[in-house]
Structure 1
């Protein structure tokens, strides 16, 4: 039966032009919808232990369907994490131990399983689990502190009680977040299990239509990726044909490739968000207009992602939950360093090694750090320059300026994505050489030139003010 199923999936994957592992992944994500419907109609407001057990069993089945017996990696880390919290209590030692163990286990997994290509293997959901468990250790520690010493954000996530093993397993294996996220706190999960996350108290959440909308949007991105993705393979960068193309063509290819490549991540996050909405986990109270919000598990701000001409706008719209997690548990916890740039650099370094041990991840996030710094300097210069501010405010010039800005934006979004997708130094170095390291040159020149230009501008403004 298993062999027949594997053969059937393999044939279907070949017909779709995808790998069997990728097909298993998307089927597993889509399976969250019938599971969420079952939970809505048969488990809502039922015994919490039954819901924890349901989430644990379904999550383990999904893990086995995708990774077979290698599901023991997640089970081992969950049980050991539970023991760390129970034996060490609400202490800094527990946080450090859990952080070192979980990250060490993940990085060891990367070391022993990594190849030069992108593979869907047990480390993919394990990186999501790693953040979830480390976050639980921080929240459990915060639960033992005085409320006055916690920020409002920490108060919302602090775990006051002592989680049971079944609660930790249900939290970790919840079918709507096990494979690709999103991140959510133990407190949110427990409120979800007890039926508190609903727009009508005591009744099932009215979330079917919002879930269908998110699913439909995810499937639209999937269709777009399946149509254009095969024509824009990563491997083309390494061919002689690409190297022999005109420079402008290489840059245009990188621009379009970067945009379409991100759609595969957008697809997974939108579809899983729909599962979280359908089950009720994504309920986020009402906005100032009294409209019910279902965005607590949103990993994408699609409109912002598609329309922003800013690098910071794309970062703010993409993989939101992971970025929020890093901000909450890494960046903000490093305030004692007293240097925002150092804290930001450490957060990006953490993100890089969390993704994997390949040099491409470090290069990608280093470039992201550089690009954000340069963009902020450009915005400061435009704000301080009367001439540039006037040009940007002219209505007739706004459309062409927006188009130019978007072209520049997506070219240099695709540029750091090259090492992220090609992994090893010999591959991304070959691509960067073929485009003459244009991104590095442009941004390093701007990094040094913009502060000087702004300094000159400030001096001129001071002189004009004194003369008047």
Structure 2
């Protein structure tokens, strides 16, 4: 089912350049509707209810908070009620699955229309890129909602990104002028990422289907598992089951990402420009000071800094020699705009921050842009994070397993950050972070901790119902919830990891500035430690 997006994307990629905009919209909408009908039948009516209701209210209350509030309440309410009626406590794939994706799209669309009414000076960087000053057309919105490669499992992207994809401005034209075999395939960022995602995703599903049969969830519900197995055997089984469950999501996201990249939605608009002759590139190309991010991390941390082609285009147009492939190399940055998983970050993660940053990336980015950042008026980051996670849990459904999963996530992230802050400010900082043996020890311990902490929440996330997950977690003495005792053992940890002693010069400097009434350096030092 997830692979059907590839032939649809291939036809669009080959033919769409000769089509009018309306034909492109019609093709995407028609293919998406046919896929939906084939999988879910006439439940497609729920999708149309969500789309047209959201459009009507936004048209009636253009650029107003009323439309945004309505989009939140209506789409989330419709989804929650539908999930409660249709789902039976198992992972049923029905119309509520694509409506989860649509729900976020409609809320994001309402926010983007509202952001356009705000003064540009008051918009954030992400809001400037996604704000919609012009009301979208009906066919355009239908194509946006039913994009065949993204309507079932995501990823999320704003309407502005979709519009740039449709009109062809998303991908830098300069990268398409090379017609040699090497540049069309070996150095083609789009081709390479599509192929890698297709192969890795399908390989993962094949392997994991066999592993899942070896470690079924029903085994954990048996009396043999809960009463006859040893504690460590039960815990090890839960760890393996949790990893298999996560990797199944990863495989599906990889397949979906590959089809999105093939159709053209994965392009970031970034390029790598490098002189290989005597031509001197300007500083804004060589050392671009930008906040532009790819889904895999800051592009400026790469060996070749990527720049937004829209910045470099005007300069290069006025310097014809830059179009000479013997003098300047212009290559696309990886097509990561639709990446929902960073394999490198996920595989080598040694703390929960790495897991969160590399997993379900587009959904987390959507949550950051449209929920978390919109709660700044609360003036409390912890409260904003709690509300965001509650929204995410409710978006998944009403089963208690979802809320326990995200509750454990918040608990572990909070405790781990505090522990790492103590460790980094301790006298053992140099050993654990600067020596080879220390880095090996901290990395291995961090990785084992990742496996351990994911066991309990993933079991609850999969079993969903309280009567199912409670007995399983009880058999391992609710070990995943032991982090609630952190305040009790924190003093002992601080005693075992004493802070790094300050040098006499630092102590005298800090004392003199404080006595003179200038406490700014002290505050800066405390804030920097808090950020760490």
1:213 is aligned to 2:196: yes
The corresponding residue for 1:90 is: 63
The 8 Å contact of residues 257 and 414 in structure 1, kept in 2 or not, is answered as yes
CA distance in 2, matches of 1:94, 1:452: 52
Contact conserved, 2:427 with 2:501, CA < 8 A, in 1?
A: no
The equivalences for 1:14-163 within 5 A come to 27=1, 29-44=2-17, 46-163=19-136
Question: Structure 1 residue 268 and structure 2 residue 252: aligned?
Answer: yes
Whether contact under 8 Å (1:85, 1:137) holds in the other structure is yes
CA distance in 1, matches of 2:430, 2:422: 9
Instruction: Give, in angstroms, the shift of residue 46 of structure 1.
Output: 2.2
Superposed CA deviations along residues 208-232 of structure 1, whole A, max 9, x for unmatched, are: 3321111112122212212211111
More displaced stretch, 401-410 vs 59-68 = 401-410
> Within the alignment, does 1:239 sit opposite 2:222 as a pair?
yes
Displacement of 1:405: 2.5
Q: Shift of residue 462 of structure 1? A: 7.5
What is the aligned partner in structure 2 of residue 419 from structure 1? 460
Alignment of 1:308-347 (within 5 A): 308-347=349-388
Partners of 1:216 and 1:386 lie apart in 2 by 47
2:369 is the alignment partner of 1:384:
no
Q: Which has the larger radius of gyration?
A: 2
**2:448 aligned with 1:407, yes or no?**
yes
Aligned-partner SS, 1:197: coil
The equivalent position to 2:475 in structure 1, one of 434, 440, 446, is 434
3-state DSSP of counterpart to 2:350: coil
Distance 1:50 1:391 in 2: 59
Residue 135 of structure 1 and its aligned partner are, at CA, apart by 0.3
CA distance in 1: counterparts of 2:507 and 2:359, whole angstroms: 46
Equivalent pairs counted in the alignment come to 440
Q: Distance in 2 between matches of 1:251 and 1:392?
A: 30
The Cα RMSD (Å) is: 2.3
1:248 matches 2:200:
no
Normalized per residue, the structure richer in helix is 1
- CA 201–143 in structure 1, closer or farther in 2 if over 3 Å, else same: farther
Per the alignment, do residues 236 and 134 of structure 1 end up closer, same or farther by CA in structure 2, a change over 3 Å counting?
same
Contact 2:79 2:96 in 1 (8 A): yes
Cα shift at 1:116: 1.9
* Aligned with 1:395 (options 433, 436, 440): 436
Match of 1:286 in 2: 271
Shift of 1:365: 0.4
Question: In structure 2, do the counterparts of structure 1 residues 411 and 267 end up closer, same or farther at CA, with 3 Å as the change threshold?
Answer: same
Contact 1:311 1:413 in 2 (8 A): no
What CA distance in whole angstroms lies between the structure 2 residues aligned with 1:250 and 1:446? 24
String of CA shifts for 1:164-215, please: whole Å, max 9, x gaps: 1111100000011100000000000011111112232596995233211111
CA contact (8 A) 1:199 1:292 kept: no
How far, CA to CA, are the matches of 2:377 and 2:145 in structure 1? 30
Where 1:286 maps in the other structure, the secondary structure is strand
Match of 1:21 in 2: none
Separation (CA, whole Å) in 2 of partners of 1:106 and 1:314: 27
1:264-310 CA deviation, whole Å, 9 max, x = no partner? Answer: 11111111111111111110122515542200111000011111111
Residues 448 and 340 of structure 1: is their aligned pair in 2 closer, same or farther, counting only changes over 3 Å?
farther
Q: 1:379 deviation in Å?
A: 0.6
Equivalent runs, 1:426-465 vs 2, <5 Å? 426-441=467-482, 443-450=483-490, 453-454=493-494, 461=501
CA deviation after TM superposition for structure 1 residue 34, in Å: 0.7
Q: SS at the partner of 1:31?
A: helix
Output one character per residue of 1:9-56: Cα deviation in whole Å (capped at 9) or x when no partner.
xxxxxxxxxxxxxxxxxx2x2111111111111112521111111111
Report the secondary structure of 2:156's partner residue. coil
CA contact (8 A) 1:377 1:450 kept: no
CA distance in 1 between partners of 2:494 and 2:126 (Å): 37
1:420 to partner: Cα distance: 0.7
Deviations 1:47-80 (A, max 9, x none): 1111111111111111111111111111111111
Match of 1:226? 209
* Inter-partner Cα distance in structure 2 for 1:447 and 1:102: 39
CA distance, structure 2, for counterparts of residue 362 and residue 135 of structure 1: 23
After TM superposition, give the deviation of residue 456 of structure 1 in Å: 9.1
**Mapped contact 1:56–1:174 kept (Cα < 8 A):** yes
Distance 1:456 1:334, change over 3 A: farther
